[in-house]
Structure 1
Amino acid sequence: MSFLVIDIGNTRLKWGLYAQPSPDAELLAHGAVVLEDIDYLWELHWKNLMHKPQGMLGCVVAGEAIKKRVEEQLIEGWGLAPRWLSSSAQAAGVTNGYEHPQRLGSDRWAAIIGARQRALQHSPEHPPAVLAVMVGTAVTVDAVDQKGRFLGGLILPGFGLMYRALESGTAGLKVPTGEVRDFPTNTSDALMSGGTDAIAGAIERSLRRLRVQCGSEPLLIMSGGAVSRLSHVHELPTSVVENLIFEGLLTLAATCTVAANAT
């Protein structure tokens, strides 16, 4: 039973087709489109796939209009009923500590569950606390303790938003093309280094807080379209996971504890 997972973010839709709804399933095909090209998703990506999905689960933050256009292509192309993840108070062994659990972004919820699954794989008997970092248009930094309780997390601007804010709000500064340096000596390097240090610093502070909270060394997992911009930061002892949100969606599909909206 092939299974389709979809992550509709702020700028791109990412999809993966797996052999079955399981976090360790074989990846059969995958792709991504910018939201401006969403109308061509079926023709350019899905129409000629060798395997027809028998089910799907997705998360979406891009808004209702984008979601509806994707649903149309799923229904018209495959006759596939769309199912979209909604955050819940508990799922897949994770307790949601958000003040209003249903208001937690479904993409964050999926990434948190994927990170917890990684912690369980790391040490099934004594899973570590884990910090799940998604680096995209925005950056989210979410903490889960050893018992699978989501403690809370941060949201901050991603690299693009940060640089565009500086460009639009400061005379003479342009989006940087420089390098990350310890002590930048030109404006482009200074901008690039400042953005990297701002995000890395937020991650380091959260990691330190989680270490104190749990009394042991947490697992740091990072994912997202812009994660490569942080992979060289030696102070972050991280594991980079290519599709953390997909892993969370597959875990939820496998456990049959999905809070989802079906169309």
Structure 2
Amino acid sequence: MAELLVDMGNARLKWRLQEQGVVQCSGAMLVSVLSLGQLQADLPESASVVYWASVASDEKGLCLENWAHQKNTPCHQITTQDYWQDLSNGYQQPQQLGVDRWLAMVAARQYTQNAVCVVDCGSAITFDYVSAGGLHEGSYIIPGARLMSQALARDTAQINFTYQTLEDVQPGTSTAQAVLAGCSQMAHYGAFGLVREAQERGYEILLCGGDGLVIANDLGLTYVEQLVLDGLAQVAGLHKH
């Protein structure tokens, strides 16, 4: 049986197909332009069952469910839980914790039984702290570079630019460049500071998310590209080799 795992974030939908625990293929697409036609074109036809989790709009989730329905493929949504094995949700209202962050913590418990700080560097940069005993102790959420630059563009007159990732962050020689460089630096060094603080407090660090690899490489830390999908596989009762 070929299982399709789908992590639908705010910016990207990430997926992988696995069979008997062996990953066959994987991919990603932008959530902003997600459509039934794109799913039909890009998702693998060989999926026997779909397990999915989403922090995107209900409309986007319905699009995925419609795709599975057209294929007569069973489709199971995974949501945030109060507990998973020895991991306990630390939010006062557990369902308010984003399912992507919950699944990343589920996977992190499979990587290490030490106290761990899971850092997901996506549209927002999130820090979730888990004790060695499995208690989710709380979180930090800060805007990523893209969100900060979009906020400046929205609320400040005469700033017009198309967001792009900067290869070499230097002080800008135009307002648009200065915004992009400044927001990138703020996100980067904000993440650095919280990572260093977590290390000083004895936490192991696991990074994931689209911007996490740069930070992991700079600080010599562990980066797990598909940490959320690993957690999704765990909760669905599947395994990955």
TM-score in terms of structure 1 length: 0.77
Segments ≥4 residues shifted beyond 6 Å? none
8 Å contact kept, 1:15–1:31: yes
8 Å contact kept, 1:134–1:140: yes
Are the structure 2 counterparts of residues 255 and 231 from structure 1 closer, same or farther at C-alpha, using a change threshold of 3 Å?
A: closer
Aligned partner of 1:230 in structure 2 is 215
Aligned partner of 2:25 in structure 1 is 29
Comparing 106-115 with 189-198, which one deviates more in the overlay? Answer: 189-198
Matches within 5 A, 1:10-89: 10-20=10-20, 25-35=21-31, 36-46=33-43, 49=45, 51-53=46-48, 55-77=49-71, 79-89=72-82
Q: Work out whether 1:115 is the aligned partner of 2:111.
A: no
Aligned-CA RMSD value: 2.6
Q: Work out whether 1:142 is the aligned partner of 2:128.
A: yes
Number of aligned residue pairs: 234
The separation in 2 between residues aligned to 1:33 and 1:189, in whole angstroms, is 27
Deviations 1:156-205 (A, max 9, x none): 22221111222333345555765225xx4745665444333322343344
The separation in 2 between residues aligned to 1:3 and 1:255, in whole angstroms, is 9
What letter matches 1:244 in structure 2? L
Listed as ranges, the gaps of 5+ residues in structure 2 are none
Q: Quick one: which of 176, 187, 202 aligns to 1:199?
A: 187
Question: How far did residue 90 of structure 1 move?
Answer: 0.7
The separation in 1 between residues aligned to 2:47 and 2:208, in whole angstroms, is 27
The separation in 1 between residues aligned to 2:37 and 2:180, in whole angstroms, is 34
Question: How far did residue 228 of structure 1 move?
Answer: 4.2
Deviations 1:213-260 (A, max 9, x none): 5xx3x222211123345355x3x342111111101101112279xxxx
Aligned partner of 2:151 in structure 1 is 165
The separation in 2 between residues aligned to 1:52 and 1:255, in whole angstroms, is 14
| Percent of matched pairs sharing the same residue | 27
Are the structure 2 counterparts of residues 221 and 88 from structure 1 closer, same or farther at C-alpha, using a change threshold of 3 Å?
A: same
The separation in 2 between residues aligned to 1:95 and 1:65, in whole angstroms, is 30
8 Å contact kept, 2:103–2:232: yes
Q: Work out whether 1:5 is the aligned partner of 2:2.
A: no
Question: How far did residue 110 of structure 1 move?
Answer: 0.8
What letter matches 2:155 in structure 1? G
8 Å contact kept, 2:125–2:191: no
What letter matches 1:138 in structure 2? A
8 Å contact kept, 1:196–1:229: no
Are the structure 2 counterparts of residues 52 and 210 from structure 1 closer, same or farther at C-alpha, using a change threshold of 3 Å?
A: same
SS of the residue corresponding to residue 34 of structure 2 reads: helix
SS of the residue corresponding to residue 35 of structure 2 reads: helix
What letter matches 2:9 in structure 1? G
